[in-house]
């Protein structure tokens, strides 16, 4: 929390995106035979899965176990998460009629989220819990395309060709996302991360016109809660300044841009999060150590630094590598 607020810290804190997941044998055991969205709606599973990496690694934060489509499912969107594919939407939204199906999210739609967060806060003690939600552009892409997309053809066709419909869709998704994050904070989350998997697909001028007003609305709508707000996207090297401009306190950086360069692009007044390439963890330890020390060194340029990977933990990662990395970050960065 201190690093997010750009305050002095005794060492660089560390957590990992997707730290609770397929790389952990204990995760695979509790998820066996349980569909993803069922797991996300079962408080005892959410608590157990969120806690697993905290117990195993001694990381400095827990990230709420959920999925970006949970709030969409909760308001009645017909979708599922198919193994090996990702979110699949039965009836893609490509017109005003489809847009009408997106109603506001109410706390009663996701009682399992409030219950899970409260239970986690009690179990975590002094370890912060980071709330989690998907950003409007990425949610819009799934809804428009009907599932994962390489080129986001239909998404961009709406964005460029039907800007009024696009902004109406983004406004609704922003309100749903904001409500989802606010209820997590109300239940006790200490910080929040807005995760934009696919926004790296847009150029800076398009981000400013078609995305920035909506992400800004979310961060402004969280300002009164007083919790650190983290913004992360993939492939966003050219967008880093805009990600900071959107209103986040912390800008997550993927592995493509060195942190010292990222600090220049983001500008003053922001902390940075990142950014070891997750694939480095598949290499021998001496490579991991050298690369991690380089990230720490470059991170000193930032006004605040939270060590993380440049994207999620890969399923093939040896958990012992992450445990060793956590210890290294704490020891090597001790002030």
Give me the catalytic one of 6, 16, 18, 277: 18
Note the maximum CA span of the chain.
57
pLDDT score for 119: 98
Q: How far apart are the first and last CA of the chain?
A: 17
Q: Name the CA radius of gyration of the chain, rounded.
A: 19
What is the phi/psi pair of residue 218, to 5°?
-65, -50
Give me the catalytic one of 67, 80, 206, 260: 67
Give me the catalytic one of 5, 31, 208, 293: 31
Mean confidence (pLDDT) of the chain: 97
**214-264: per-residue pLDDT in tens?**
999 999 999 999 999 999 999 999 999 999 999 999 999 999 999 999 999
Give me the catalytic one of 142, 172, 249, 254: 142
pLDDT score for 113: 98
pLDDT score for 335: 79
pLDDT score for 205: 98
Return all residues near 214 (Cβ < 8 A) that are at least 6 apart: 136, 137, 167, 170, 171, 173, 174
DSSP string, 239-266: GHHHHHHTT-SEEE--TTS-HHHHHHHH
pLDDT score for 185: 98
142 is catalytic: yes
CB 135 within 8 A of CB 177: yes
| Structure tokens, 8 | 């002095």
22 is catalytic: yes
**Which residue has 């909506």 as its token pair?**
214
pLDDT tens sequence for the chain (335 residues): 999 999 999 999 999 999 999 999 999 999 999 999 999 999 999 999 999 999 999 999 999 999 999 999 999 999 999 988 999 999 999 999 999 989 999 999 999 999 999 999 999 999 999 999 999 999 999 999 999 999 999 999 999 999 999 999 999 999 999 999 999 999 999 999 999 999 999 999 999 999 999 999 999 999 999 999 999 999 999 999 999 999 999 999 999 999 999 999 999 999 999 999 999 999 999 999 999 999 999 999 999 999 999 999 999 999 999 999 999 999 999 97
Residue 225 burial (10 A CB sphere; 0-12, 13-18, 19+) = middle
**Which residue has 């000193």 as its token pair?**
300
265 is catalytic: no
67 is catalytic: yes
| Structure tokens, 304 | 């605040």
pLDDT score for 101: 86
160 is catalytic: no
pLDDT score for 66: 96
Separation CA 172–CA 151 (nearest Å): 23
**Which residue has 């060194």 as its token pair?**
297
Give me the catalytic one of 5, 22, 56, 324: 22
pLDDT score for 84: 87
């Amino acid at each position: 929390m201190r690093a997010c607020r750009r305050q002095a810290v005794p060492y660089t804190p560390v957590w990992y995106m997707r730290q609770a997941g397929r790389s952990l044998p204990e995760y695979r055991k509790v998820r066996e035979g349980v569909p993803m969205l069922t797991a996300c709606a079962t408080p005892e599973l959410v608590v157990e899965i969120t806690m697993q990496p905290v117990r195993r690694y001694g990381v400095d934060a827990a990230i709420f176990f959920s999925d970006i489509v949970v709030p969409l499912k909760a308001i009645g969107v017909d979708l599922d998460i198919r193994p090996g594919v990702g979110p699949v939407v039965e009836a893609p939204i490509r017109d005003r009629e489809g847009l009408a199906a997106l109603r506001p999210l109410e706390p009663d739609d996701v009682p399992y989220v409030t219950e899970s967060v409260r239970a986690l806060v009690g179990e975590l003690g002094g370890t912060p819990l980071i709330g989690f939600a998907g950003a409007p552009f990425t949610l819009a892409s799934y809804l428009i395309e009907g599932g994962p997309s390489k080129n986001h053809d239909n998404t961009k066709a709406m964005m460029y060709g039907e800007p009024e419909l696009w902004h109406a869709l983004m406004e609704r998704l922003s309100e749903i996302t904001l409500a989802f994050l606010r209820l997590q904070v109300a239940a006790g989350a200490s910080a929040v991360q807005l995760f934009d998997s696919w926004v790296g697909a847009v150029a800076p001028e398009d981000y400013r016109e078609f995305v920035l007003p909506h992400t800004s609305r979310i961060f402004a709508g969280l300002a009164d809660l007083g919790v650190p707000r983290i913004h992360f996207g993939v492939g966003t090297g050219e967008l880093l300044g805009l990600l900071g401009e959107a209103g986040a306190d912390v800008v997550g950086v993927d592995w493509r841009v060195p942190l010292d360069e990222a600090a220049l692009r983001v500008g003053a007044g922001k902390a940075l999060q990142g950014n070891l390439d997750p694939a480095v963890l598949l290499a021998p330890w001496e490579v991991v150590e050298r690369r991690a020390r380089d990230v720490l060194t470059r991170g000193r340029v930032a006004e605040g630094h939270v060590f993380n990977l440049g994207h999620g933990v890969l399923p093939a990662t040896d958990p012992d590598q992450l445990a060793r990395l956590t210890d290294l970050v704490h020891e090597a960065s001790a002030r």
